[in-house]
Every structure is written in structure tokens, then in C-alpha cells.
């Protein structure tokens, strides 16, 4: 039976440690933000609140739908990602529609079953693994910083009693 070394869990550069840091930051965010609905209509970036230019969009293009518009939506996104990490994709699949990540996983599984996966892709698994591992480290680090930023911003703007006059 293979044993997991306690050294890998204590290594600050391990995937497990990066995952734990994000989950801890998301849990701290969740415990700090007692009334998430107060985050509605609060711009995600502090500069956006001071920069309101009505005719800034000369091309009359709609705003990017993937951009988080307010702190509340960002809070929900971070919570959702944390839940997906803790519970996996199966729980979400049972309870609601499939997310983009779930659809990608299903598509990859179907390709493997139907034999559409090329041998070239299969022979380069180590490079694919390292590529995705670097990406996962980067994404988890950014998510951790965003959860910490959201928590600190909530404390500064809402936690200080600014909404009670």
C-alpha cells in the first residue's frame, strides 16, 4: 500500500497546500461576510466606483457577460468553486445542470470510450499533466488572493458600519 509522505503536505509548493490555502481563504471569506446581499451593486474594483463615464463605450458594445459585475457575484463564484473542490463534480451533477468544467470532463470521457483520443495525445501525458498542474497552481493562487481581497474589502467598506447611518 502506498503511503503519502507528510513532507509533501507540509511543502508550501505542493498542490494539496495550495488547495488548502484557497479553501481556508474561502472559508474565512464566508465566515466574515455575514450578509452577502450587502455586496450587491458594490463594484468589484475600487477604481470602478470613482470612474463612471457615461459615454465611454463608443462602439455601443454590450458589457462582457463573463466579467463579474459586483462583489456579490464574485462572492458566489468563489463559494461555488470552493464547493466544487470540496465535493467534486458529482454532487453538482446530481443537483443541477452541468457546468462548463463538467461538460469538458464528460466530453473527454466520451472521447476515451469511443476511441477518438489520438495516440499522440496519450503518449504525451506527462507534458499535459505538468501544463495543467502549472495552470491549476496559477488559478488557485489567484482565487486565494481574490477571496482574501474580497474579505478585506468587505471588512473595510461594509464591516466598518458604513451602511448604518
**Measuring CA to CA, which residue among 163, 154, 161, 128 is closest to residue 70?**
154
3-state secondary structure at position 162: coil
Chain segment 33-80, per-residue pLDDT in tens: 998 988 888 887 764 444 444 444 444 444 444 454 789 999 999 999
- Residue 77, judged by CB atoms within 10 A of its CB (0-12, 13-18, 19+), counts as middle
Q: Which of 89-93, 111-115, 130-134, 147-151 has the lowest mean pLDDT?
A: 111-115
Q: Decide: 73 and 37 in contact? Cβ < 8 Å.
A: no
What pTM does this model have?
A: 0.64
Average pLDDT over residues 28-32: 95
Please check the confidence at residue 156 and state whether its pLDDT lies above 60. yes
Question: Domain segments of the chain: what residues?
Answer: 26-34+69-158
pLDDT at 120: 60
Amino acid at each position: 500500500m502506498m503511503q503519502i509522505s507528510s513532507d509533501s503536505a507540509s511543502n508550501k509548493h505542493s498542490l494539496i497546500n495550495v488547495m488548502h490555502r484557497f479553501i481556508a481563504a474561502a472559508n474565512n471569506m464566508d465566515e466574515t461576510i455575514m450578509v452577502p446581499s450587502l455586496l450587491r451593486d458594490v463594484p468589484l474594483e475600487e477604481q470602478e466606483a470613482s470612474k463612471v463615464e457615461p459615454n465611454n463605450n463608443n462602439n455601443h458594445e454590450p458589457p462582457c457577460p463573463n466579467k463579474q459585475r459586483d462583489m456579490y457575484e464574485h462572492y458566489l463564484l468563489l463559494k461555488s468553486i470552493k464547493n466544487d473542490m470540496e465535493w467534486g463534480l458529482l454532487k453538482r451533477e446530481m443537483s443541477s445542470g452541468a457546468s462548463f468544467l463538467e461538460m469538458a470532463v464528460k466530453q473527454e470521457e466520451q472521447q476515451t470510450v469511443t476511441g477518438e483520443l489520438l495516440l499522440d495525445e496519450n503518449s504525451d501525458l506527462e507534458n499535459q499533466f505538468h501544463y495543467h498542474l502549472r495552470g491549476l497552481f496559477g488559478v488557485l493562487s489567484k482565487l486565494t488572493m481574490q477571496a482574501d481581497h474580497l474579505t478585506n474589502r468587505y471588512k473595510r467598506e461594509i464591516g466598518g458600519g458604513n451602511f448604518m447611518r
